[in-house]
Structure 1
Amino acid sequence: MNSRPSALRDFTVDRRVWLLTAVAAVIGIGAAALAVLLLRAIALATNIFYYHRISLAAVSPAGSSLSRWILPFVPVVGGLIVGVMARYGSDKIRGHGIPEAIEAILLRGARVDPKVAILKPISAAISIGSGGPFGAEGPIIMTGGAFGSLIAQWLKLSDAERTTLLVAGAAAGMAATFAAPLAAILLAVELLLFEWRPRSLVPVAVASGMAGALRTTWLGTGPLFPLESQAAFPLAPAMLAAVILGLVIGLASAGLSRLMYGFEDAFEHFCGRLRIHWMWWPAIGGLGVGLGGLFFARGLGVGYDNIAELLRGNAPMALVLGLIVAKSLMWAFSLGSGTSGGVLAPLLMIGASLGELPAMLLHLPVETQALWALLGMGAMLSGSLGVPLTAILFSLELTHALPALLPLVLACTASYVVTSLIMPRSILTEKLGRRGFHLSREYGVDPLESVIVAEVMAEPMAQPMNEAGPHPSGETPTSSSEIFAYSDESCRTVAEQMASSGTMAMLVRDRETGAVLGKIAAPELLSARKRSVVPESERSSGFGKRGQEAPARG
């Protein structure tokens, strides 16, 4: 038996990871600075719109003394400005921010227009500062991603490397905004990278870590929303409640997604029939926000103070119901109009309200109400975005409530399974689906990667390689006599060589001696692919089959 080591490795990373990591560290610094600038710009815009002063103090639109006759039109002005910026600047500034980052990765080779890096944070600051019920995280993810993409384009890197640096900037922006560097890394893996490889994970982690470290210097240390009531709670009842709550909030998250896209469809339908240009839609959405603000002023703006109050427990019933009803409608209506704003903060506070409401109705202790708010917050994020691991870790980093880990895992998992069963797309990927692009969120090892050429190769060819048959495109391969496979390579490597060279069949050689051992073509690759189909489709008990072992690999 041949016991010499194979040329295959667990990972395909090469030395260029050092270059990408060094560049990612710089991008992490820049994205953190952009996050600080965006938060300051939102505060400045809020002061200008609602307090008529130049100030960077963090204030809420709810404290404004504006007349009730003027208040509804403030978001209209902001929406009008955003619409003009989108029409004459770049329409890529419209929307959540995260779907646009995904679109850039999948459809444009991770290339982002420089105008987006400038206009996106400005439009988001105006939209949120004028009362838009959004979070800053989506815009900063897109802005940080645009910064990373521009650096990669300047360095003339490959598509894959541009993607890595775009995601590094996006993750760094999120880490700096929420003081959640670990959750930012997981969000990159679950939503943006479409792979789990050292070549991308290491630079993203470094960028996120750099941004998280700078955040503590520029904006202060975490947690952003400390869970003050962390008294001991009975674990078994908490875990049972977490499952039930997670299932309910999974349904609610699906409903929120359909509500938002329902408003988007309504804008498309009615404004289309009335021939109202999409430039004016954000102003119409702003009118809905302004009218909602007349009845529920705390629904205006980012609303981080609302999340903090919910996580203290025993929040006023008016706040809880207002966030569930008014905030949901204001957010969905405005975002459906195509304005600029993020989804994470609204989802967090709506989920926390849905979690705290039953605890309040049952008159549970304050610490239990706070726990249920935390579970609802994580479950809503998990179900809506389809990122259960990110939701779990993000909730813990935001609150530092480690005792809630086990119930939180169950709540997020329960919500995730509900939405993955009833929703074809998440709230972020639905937009891409509506544009005609299919996006698979299931990651797994390529079956061809785990099968070695020697396991499936056939006898050597009897005809010349350039007569092996036509390529599917109709062209006949011409130089395949110089292209060959090694017996210890993976079938995936062979498939990639065939795709790039146009060759449909290759000789198989021994790596050390160069001797021809056989041939490999499409039928052999299909037989390797079949190995993954059988475990997925065949069902049996496995009893009574002793002695029947799978053939050894390698």
Structure 2
Amino acid sequence: MEQNANEAGSKSPPLAAASTLLRDYSADSRMLLISLVAFFVGALASVISWLLQRMIGLSTNLFYFHRWNFQEVEPAGHHLGYWAVLVPVVGGFLVGLVARFGSPGVRGHGMPEAVEAIVFRGARVKPRVAFLKPIATALSIGSGGPFGAEGPVIMTGGSMGSLLGQMLPVTDAERSTLMVAGAAAGMAATFACPLSAVLLAVELLLFEWRPRSLVPVAVACATAGAMRRLLLAPGPIFPMPASPYGMHHQAMLAAVLVGVVVALLAIVLGKAIHSTEELFEKLPIHWMWFPAIGGLFVGLGGLIFPPALGIGYDVIRQLLASDFTWKLLVGVLVVKTAIWIISLSSNTAGGILAPLLMIGAAVGAGMSHWLPVIAPGGWAVVGMTALLAASIGAPLTCAMLSVELTHNGALVLPVLLACTTSYALSVLLQRRSLLTAGLSRQGRHLSREYGVDPLELVVVRDAQHPDVESFAATATVGEARVWLEKMQANAPASWSHWQRIFPILGEDGKLLGLLTRTQLMAAAESQQPSEIPLATFGIEQPSTLSEEETLRSAAEQMGATQLTSLPVVDANGTLTGILNVADLLSARVTANSRDTERNTLLRPRWPLRRAETGK
């Protein structure tokens, strides 16, 4: 009646031969197809970036200078006097109208909305968001809103990628890749930073590191970077001469200090934004009016400190060139910061990267008076990238961004150290970053950590139960009754045994069928004659696992079949064992022990102690 799986079957193939069936990567030829689509997404995202910048230029000229001109201009040079206070109010009111009667999706600074769509909505974005988001952003920034264009471009580019993904027969994962490709390409085109955009995708948007997603995203970013040279201008946005100074150890210590300061500032900014958002939500009026209320504060701030209006690239260039006064620093750190917090909390449209860069640059420039000299504007670069790293939780992106924004690679050491320091402190001192706090308030949990699945590190062969109780193909109902009698005689130990399925094997050990414990008991308790074949009560073509599969693949098959036990066969179809869901859990427990158990593996022995004790 019973056979041992190892005795019935042939020996497992050699490890070297079996390992050739496994691969480092799971990518297939569809990666090339998605990369081709991503190429067009990248080109489209660069065009969107160019159009949005032209729209912002037109909006600024109309609001502040009353002329039809697409050229980019800073609103600080207006001659409207006190009437300029009302301009951001009008702009905020128009944004509220677009959001209420067009789509609420145009609100926000873009990046959290992109993350939410990718993770929780299968990368599905409504078409109207893709078209209305640039309009709302142009109205907001053109009327003096203290934002950057990069966040909305990220969302709009991602929306275009999502729309293409919705029109093509692709999986949710492939659609997410196309959306991320569009989002990252939008950033690459806006900031002329293709490599930083790829890193941003990896650190913030993809939530995986796989060729199937990395390759299309890199193609899209490279395409957007090349298209930017044709549509906008080559070269960095904030060009700086290469630093002629060597990085002394004092400069590295100073970089740590800057990282600590801006990390604390990032935490304060995040708390201030969330507190102000709660105040807006308590107002007894419709949210449509919130951007107009925020615009009033923007207008008052612009009256006090005009450079606080708009994107403010010129102010950043001044800080990086060390061409600033204490009045400029105070204006940025007090006025710009205050109106940015209030306006952002009103849920208007606009990006957060440019304001954070400006505020961080002001902190670094202010601290440069007490820090070692590294380069003109060097500490401003360190400060702006470190603040961005602490705020959005992307240290590698921000470190590379400093190089691509300035083309000053000599600052990479203090920048990397400051970004890592600020990132480490922000991770330790706050539960959520600026990008995920809003999602948390909606009741959504999003982990920013990912790593190799421990189930990918173990193959079925190493986790299966090789000693299996099975039945021959000639087994009858009578043998099932004998089995049931033994189970009842040994109860309760027998009923708590791990085996829940019973293979039916041919003479050569190959799997012919399967009986669950319930089916086996039904056969034993039936009124059928004892000579009836037992196989008639079982499953003729059961789902099986290959002993060369990983446990992750096994878990996916168990989930698809809703079975908690599956037979394992070799390449010849010979049964080698059974894998239970408990075996998958044990692999998880082993992986968890690596994170929780602390062991001292090496204990040094001092020569004097050995001489005294003789050990």
TM-score by length of 2: 0.84
CA contact (8 A) 2:402 2:412 kept: no
Give the Å deviation of 1:2. Answer: 3.9
Give the Å deviation of 1:369. Answer: 5.1
Which of 433, 438, 448 is the matching residue for 1:431? 438
Which of 463, 468, 473 is the matching residue for 1:460? 468
Using the alignment, how far apart are the partners of 1:435 and 1:280 within structure 2? 21
SS at match of 1:3: helix
* Pairing of 1:42-53 with structure 2 (within 5 A): 42-53=56-67
Moved more, 397-406 or 225-234: 225-234
Using the alignment, how far apart are the partners of 1:500 and 1:443 within structure 2? 24
Using the alignment, how far apart are the partners of 1:76 and 1:302 within structure 2? 17
Identity in percent = 49
Q: State how many pairs are aligned.
A: 530
Matched, 1:516 2:575: yes
SS at match of 1:65: coil
User: One-letter code of the match for 1:77?
Assistant: V
Give the Å deviation of 1:466. Answer: 5.7
The aligned counterpart of 1:548 is none
CA contact (8 A) 1:292 1:326 kept: yes
Give the Å deviation of 1:540. Answer: 1.5
Which of 265, 280, 289 is the matching residue for 1:280? 289
Moved more, 332-341 or 461-470: 461-470
CA offsets 1:107-136 (integer angstroms, 9 cap, x no match): 211011000000000000000000000000
Using the alignment, how far apart are the partners of 1:443 and 1:157 within structure 2? 24
The aligned counterpart of 1:321 is 330
Give the Å deviation of 1:536. Answer: 1.1
Matched, 1:422 2:429: yes
Give the Å deviation of 1:17. Answer: 0.7
CA contact (8 A) 1:461 1:518 kept: no
CA contact (8 A) 2:242 2:409 kept: no
Using the alignment, how far apart are the partners of 1:299 and 1:507 within structure 2? 68
CA contact (8 A) 1:109 1:162 kept: yes
* Pairing of 1:224-239 with structure 2 (within 5 A): 224-228=237-241, 230-239=243-252
The aligned counterpart of 1:170 is 183
Using the alignment, how far apart are the partners of 2:562 and 2:590 within structure 1? 25
The aligned counterpart of 1:449 is 456
CA contact (8 A) 1:468 1:505 kept: no
* Pairing of 1:260-339 with structure 2 (within 5 A): 260-269=273-282, 271=283, 275-339=284-348
Using the alignment, how far apart are the partners of 2:104 and 2:468 within structure 1? 57
CA contact (8 A) 2:180 2:201 kept: yes
* Pairing of 1:80-159 with structure 2 (within 5 A): 80-159=93-172
CA contact (8 A) 1:168 1:208 kept: yes
Distance 1:60 1:468, change over 3 A: farther
CA contact (8 A) 1:49 1:74 kept: yes
CA offsets 1:474-522 (integer angstroms, 9 cap, x no match): xxxx9695211111110000001111111111001112x2110000011
TM-score by length of 1: 0.93
SS at match of 1:4: helix
Q: Which runs of 5+ in 1 are unaligned?
A: 471-477, 546-554
Which of 497, 501, 505 is the matching residue for 2:561? 501
The aligned counterpart of 2:388 is 381
CA contact (8 A) 2:245 2:375 kept: no
Using the alignment, how far apart are the partners of 2:310 and 2:18 within structure 1? 60
Give the Å deviation of 1:156. Answer: 2.6
Give the Å deviation of 1:244. Answer: 0.8
CA contact (8 A) 2:91 2:143 kept: yes
Using the alignment, how far apart are the partners of 1:253 and 1:162 within structure 2? 33
Distance 1:385 1:19, change over 3 A: same
SS at match of 1:36: helix
CA contact (8 A) 1:460 1:516 kept: no
The aligned counterpart of 1:72 is 85
CA contact (8 A) 1:466 1:480 kept: no
The aligned counterpart of 1:36 is 50
Over aligned residue pairs, what C-alpha RMSD do you find? 1.7
CA offsets 1:152-201 (integer angstroms, 9 cap, x no match): 11113111110000000001110000000000000001000010000000
Using the alignment, how far apart are the partners of 1:131 and 1:461 within structure 2? 76
CA offsets 1:224-257 (integer angstroms, 9 cap, x no match): 1012362314421111100111011111111111
CA contact (8 A) 2:242 2:410 kept: no
CA offsets 1:401-459 (integer angstroms, 9 cap, x no match): 11111111110000000100011111011111111110001110000011111111013
The aligned counterpart of 1:197 is 210
Using the alignment, how far apart are the partners of 1:312 and 1:480 within structure 2? 77
